[in-house]
């Protein structure tokens, strides 16, 4: 079981409470019945079928809560005490709640009080603290619960002297009990692991470490439902800030509009979403390379306790108010990798005194506990020296191979010499017809040389070998994946245009975008760790649409593996996918480009989820 606390009162209230208790102990008679001091012990024994709850209650609590009337001798008669017992049975049934993960309340099926002995003449008011009653309630489950939430509402949440319940939860087959002090209207939730219950006090350190690691992995690192989490992910072209915060913690500042019922419906979520977006859009300022940046709010979703993987987009559904959580994603788009980042967390309140924060990118993560106290609310990051810059996207020039035409300069030179000698001789012999004819031949040869010579010396566009063809394709293929490391649609298109021709550009964009969306439907950054070509073979063109007499076109069959990762909320999804397709590679003028694609297919090989290091 994982201990979960949804509200932590500020230290000032705790100090005031302790001071007031001290004063009250010295002047008991001045206590108002409307603000009683009540410290109740509740022992819960959990099985797969039920929760058996025992409340240890002093007679004083019955006297104060139900305003029982003493007799003239300041005694509580037995009949009055029995009346108070009946009232308290109903009181506990109504004001102590156990709810499931959906916020559905379990009603107690058996309510009673254990056998007790009291003086026949009754109990004097001065001796009420010397007598206890044990109330027993049983809550039956239709199926073993994975999560339970406990709430006591014995006094108003703003009472000067709030009631306390010392809650102890013992799981069948488990070792140590979970102990928690439950304050009024506080929702306290437990995750229940029936296969691996809490360990006994005699467990070894290694057993405890394994149990803790197993719980962290099961909850993907979000082990405290009441804590505020802040994750900043840094990429070459984006900084992403993910925030996970209890709904009631925001309600304290924003006074979110909702009905006075235990569920947060879809209309209430939509109203709250706009307030929460604005609250974080203009709070927690983030500076990138010293410049204050405004975020784009990508997501603002509402979750219950059953959600552990926040990488999945939330389905719209009603969630319990008591344990609802809000997940936000704020995106900051960049043109280049940042050099430094500074986050100042200023969205504290009486429910949020600390934040578990982390910055994750290349290199060692930066983890801090930001606090409202002591000016410890700033998180900084500087780009590590080992940061790997993104691969540049460069056009692949069409390599022009000159034909073996060494005889052309010699022939041209010989023709020029012979023609010149013939012209001189003819002129010397005054054979003007021959001279004129020779001159005309030279002029015709010169004019004809323009198209003929250009054709003879025009270089070939076709790679001279299969290896060179493979090299051309590999560069184009790498460029495609380098383009998708960018974050905006415009920059991705610009990158693709360097290596993809015509209508294929949009098709590849959509196919790749769909693949990345399948890996990440929660708004995070899908990073490509590896592109490995498994098979590459030059073939005839898959189509001849771009085949022209003065250009080159060849085909490639290729299969390749892509290892991608999506990082979200402190954990990583890793997915290996094998793709296969046939491509056309064409010279489109000065550069090679992918010009056609057929038989595109993909197969998922392996998927895994792990905590961020």
**167 - beta bridge partners?**
42, 180
Q: Of 424 and 583, which is predicted with more confidence?
A: 583
Average pLDDT estimate for 421-438 = 61
Mean pLDDT comparison of 1-10, 177-186, 457-466, highest-scoring range: 177-186
Structural tokens at position 378 = 């700033």
- Torsional class of 596: left (φ above 0), alpha (ψ -120 to 50), beta (otherwise): beta
Q: Percent of the chain beyond pLDDT 70?
A: 71
pLDDT category at 3 given cuts 50, 70, 90 is: very low
Q: How far apart are CA 483 and CA 493, in angstroms?
A: 8
Tell me: pLDDT of 130 over 50: yes
**What pLDDT, on a 0 to 100 scale, did the predictor assign at position 315?**
73
Structural tokens at position 165 = 């319940």
Structural tokens at position 431 = 């054979």
pLDDT category at 189 given cuts 50, 70, 90 is: confident
Q: How far apart are CA 102 and CA 246, in angstroms?
A: 16
Query: In 3D, which of 112, 172, 173 has the Cα closest to residue 137?
Result: 112
| Surface-to-core class of residue 344, CB atoms within 10 Å of its CB (0-12 exposed, 13-18 middle, 19+ buried) | middle
Q: How far apart are CA 599 and CA 603, in angstroms?
A: 13
Query: In 3D, which of 564, 565, 560, 596 has the Cα closest to residue 580?
Result: 560
Average pLDDT estimate for 260-284 = 91
**What pLDDT, on a 0 to 100 scale, did the predictor assign at position 219?**
44
Q: 89 and 112 in contact (C-beta within 8 Å)?
A: yes
Q: How far apart are CA 345 and CA 241, in angstroms?
A: 12
Query: In 3D, which of 306, 329, 309, 308 has the Cα closest to residue 318?
Result: 306
Secondary structure of 6-20 as H, E, C letters: CCCCCHHHHHHHHHH
Q: How far apart are CA 359 and CA 378, in angstroms?
A: 12
Tell me: pLDDT of 2 over 50: no
Structural tokens at position 105 = 């309340």
**What pLDDT, on a 0 to 100 scale, did the predictor assign at position 27?**
38
pLDDT category at 422 given cuts 50, 70, 90 is: low
Structural tokens at position 268 = 């209430």
Bridge pairing between strands 571-587 and 591-611: antiparallel
**What pLDDT, on a 0 to 100 scale, did the predictor assign at position 207?**
60
Q: How far apart are CA 466 and CA 481, in angstroms?
A: 23
Residues with Cβ within 8 Å of 216's Cβ and at least 6 positions away in sequence, in order, are: 223, 611
Tell me: pLDDT of 280 over 90: yes
The lowest-confidence range among 45-59, 240-254, 431-445 is: 431-445
**What pLDDT, on a 0 to 100 scale, did the predictor assign at position 515?**
65
The lowest-confidence range among 45-59, 129-143, 367-381, 451-465 is: 451-465
Q: How far apart are CA 430 and CA 240, in angstroms?
A: 91
Q: How far apart are CA 305 and CA 6, in angstroms?
A: 12
DSSP state of 460: B
DSSP state of 119: -
Tell me: pLDDT of 30 over 60: no
**What pLDDT, on a 0 to 100 scale, did the predictor assign at position 407?**
52
Q: How far apart are CA 27 and CA 33, in angstroms?
A: 14
Tell me: pLDDT of 250 over 50: yes
Tell me: pLDDT of 342 over 90: yes
CB neighbours of residue 589 within 10 Å? 11
Query: In 3D, which of 315, 326, 1 has the Cα closest to residue 148?
Result: 1
Q: Of 73 and 432, which is predicted with more confidence?
A: 73
The label of the residue with tokens 């290199």 reads 363
Tell me: pLDDT of 558 over 80: yes
DSSP string, 373-386: STT--EEEEE--TT
pLDDT category at 495 given cuts 50, 70, 90 is: confident
Q: 40 and 164 in contact (C-beta within 8 Å)?
A: yes
**What pLDDT, on a 0 to 100 scale, did the predictor assign at position 489?**
78
Instruction: Report CA 350 to chain centroid distance, whole Å.
Output: 26
Residues with Cβ within 8 Å of 64's Cβ and at least 6 positions away in sequence, in order, are: 31, 33, 36, 37, 38
591-606 burial code (b ≥16 CB/10 A, e <16): bbbbbbbeeeeeeeee
CB neighbours of residue 141 within 10 Å? 16
Chain segment 232-246, per-residue pLDDT in tens: 888 888 898 999 898
Q: 446 and 361 in contact (C-beta within 8 Å)?
A: no
Average pLDDT estimate for 247-269 = 88
Q: Of 117 and 218, which is predicted with more confidence?
A: 117
pLDDT category at 272 given cuts 50, 70, 90 is: very high
Mean pLDDT of the chain, nearest integer = 78
**What pLDDT, on a 0 to 100 scale, did the predictor assign at position 411?**
60
CB neighbours of residue 534 within 10 Å? 11
**What pLDDT, on a 0 to 100 scale, did the predictor assign at position 413?**
55
State the Cα torsion 89-90-94-96 to the nearest 10°: -10
Average pLDDT estimate for 121-134 = 92
Secondary structure of 18-56 as H, E, C letters: HHHHHHHHHCHHHCCCCCCCCEEEEEEEECCCEEEEEEE
The lowest-confidence range among 198-202, 242-246, 529-533 is: 198-202
Average pLDDT estimate for 535-560 = 77
Average pLDDT estimate for 27-52 = 68
Structural tokens at position 381 = 């990051």
Residues with Cβ within 8 Å of 329's Cβ and at least 6 positions away in sequence, in order, are: 240, 241, 242, 297, 298, 299, 523, 524
The phi, psi pair for 213, rounded to 5°, reads -60, -40
**300 - beta bridge partners?**
328
Q: How far apart are CA 97 and CA 99, in angstroms?
A: 6
Tell me: pLDDT of 440 over 80: no
Tell me: pLDDT of 581 over 80: yes
**What pLDDT, on a 0 to 100 scale, did the predictor assign at position 456?**
52
Average pLDDT estimate for 539-568 = 75
CB neighbours of residue 323 within 10 Å? 26
**What pLDDT, on a 0 to 100 scale, did the predictor assign at position 10?**
44
Q: 572 and 452 in contact (C-beta within 8 Å)?
A: no
**What pLDDT, on a 0 to 100 scale, did the predictor assign at position 574?**
77
pLDDT category at 98 given cuts 50, 70, 90 is: very high
Tell me: pLDDT of 268 over 80: yes
| Surface-to-core class of residue 584, CB atoms within 10 Å of its CB (0-12 exposed, 13-18 middle, 19+ buried) | buried
Q: How far apart are CA 477 and CA 472, in angstroms?
A: 9
Average pLDDT estimate for 105-117 = 91
Average pLDDT estimate for 393-412 = 63
Chain segment 157-176, per-residue pLDDT in tens: 665 567 889 999 988 877 77
Q: How far apart are CA 308 and CA 571, in angstroms?
A: 11
**What pLDDT, on a 0 to 100 scale, did the predictor assign at position 316?**
83
**What pLDDT, on a 0 to 100 scale, did the predictor assign at position 540?**
84
Bridge pairing between strands 591-611 and 396-397: antiparallel
For the entire predicted model, the pTM comes to 0.65
**What pLDDT, on a 0 to 100 scale, did the predictor assign at position 290?**
93
**597 - beta bridge partners?**
583
């Amino acid at each position: 079981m994982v201990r979960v606390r949804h509200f932590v009162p500020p230290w000032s209230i705790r100090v005031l409470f302790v001071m007031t208790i001290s004063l009250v102990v010295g002047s008991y008679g001045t206590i108002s019945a409307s603000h009683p001091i009540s410290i109740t012990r509740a022992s819960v024994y959990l099985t797969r079928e039920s929760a058996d709850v025992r409340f240890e209650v002093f007679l004083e609590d019955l006297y104060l809560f139900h305003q029982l009337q003493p007799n003239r001798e300041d005694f509580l008669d037995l009949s009055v005490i029995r009346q108070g017992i009946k009232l308290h049975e109903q009181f506990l049934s109504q004001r102590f709640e156990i709810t499931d993960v959906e916020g559905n309340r379990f009603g107690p099926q058996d309510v009673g009080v254990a056998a007790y002995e009291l003086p026949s003449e009754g109990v004097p008011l001065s001796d009420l603290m010397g007598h206890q009653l044990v109330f027993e309630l049983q809550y039956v489950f239709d199926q073993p619960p994975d999560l339970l939430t406990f709430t006591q509402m014995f006094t108003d949440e703003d009472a000067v002297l709030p009631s306390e319940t010392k809650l102890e939860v013992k799981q069948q087959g488990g070792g140590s009990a979970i102990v928690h002090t439950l304050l009024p209207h506080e929702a306290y939730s437990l995750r229940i692991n029936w296969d691996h219950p809490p360990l006994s006090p005699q467990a070894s350190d290694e057993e405890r470490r394994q149990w803790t690691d197993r719980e962290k992995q099961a909850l993907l690192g979000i082990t405290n439902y009441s804590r505020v989490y802040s994750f900043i992910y840094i990429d070459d072209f984006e900084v992403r800030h993910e925030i996970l915060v209890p709904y009631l913690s925001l309600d304290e500042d924003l006074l979110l509009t909702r009905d006075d019922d235990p569920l947060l419906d879809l209309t209430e979520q939509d109203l709250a979403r706009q307030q929460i977006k604005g609250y974080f859009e203009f709070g927690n300022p983030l500076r990138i390379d010293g410049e204050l940046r405004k975020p784009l709010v990508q997501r603002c979703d509402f979750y219950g306790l059953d959600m552990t993987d926040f990488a999945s987009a939330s389905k719209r559904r009603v969630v319990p108010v008591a344990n609802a959580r809000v997940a936000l994603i704020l995106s900051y788009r960049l043109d280049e990798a940042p050099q430094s980042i500074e986050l100042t967390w200023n969205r504290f309140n009486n429910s949020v005194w600390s934040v578990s924060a982390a910055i994750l990118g290349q290199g060692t993560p930066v983890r801090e506990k930001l606090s409202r106290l002591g000016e410890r609310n700033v998180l900084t990051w500087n780009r590590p020296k080992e940061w790997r810059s993104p691969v540049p996207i460069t056009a692949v020039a069409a390599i022009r191979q000159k034909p073996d035409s060494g005889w052309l300069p010699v022939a041209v030179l010989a023709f020029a010499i012979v023609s010149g000698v013939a012209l001189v001789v003819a002129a010397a012999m005054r054979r003007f017809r021959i001279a004129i004819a020779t001159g005309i031949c030279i002029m015709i040869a010169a004019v004809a040389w323009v198209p003929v010579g250009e054709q003879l010396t025009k270089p070939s566009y076709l790679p001279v070998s299969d290896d060179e063809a493979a090299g051309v394709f590999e560069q184009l293929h790498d460029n495609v994946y380098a383009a998708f490391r960018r974050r905006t649609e415009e920059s991705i298109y610009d990158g693709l245009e360097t290596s993809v021709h015509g209508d294929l550009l949009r098709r590849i964009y959509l196919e790749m975008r769909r693949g990345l969306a399948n890996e990440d439907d929660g708004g995070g950054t899908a990073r490509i760790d590896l592109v490995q070509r498994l098979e590459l073979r030059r073939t005839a063109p898959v189509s001849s649409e771009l085949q022209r007499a003065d250009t080159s076109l060849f085909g490639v069959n290729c299969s390749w593996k892509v290892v991608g990762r999506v990082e979200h909320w402190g954990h990583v999804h890793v997915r290996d996918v094998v793709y296969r397709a046939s491509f056309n590679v064409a010279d489109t003028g000065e550069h090679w480009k992918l010009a056609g694609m057929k038989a595109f297919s993909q197969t998922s090989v392996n998927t895994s989820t792990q905590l961020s290091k």
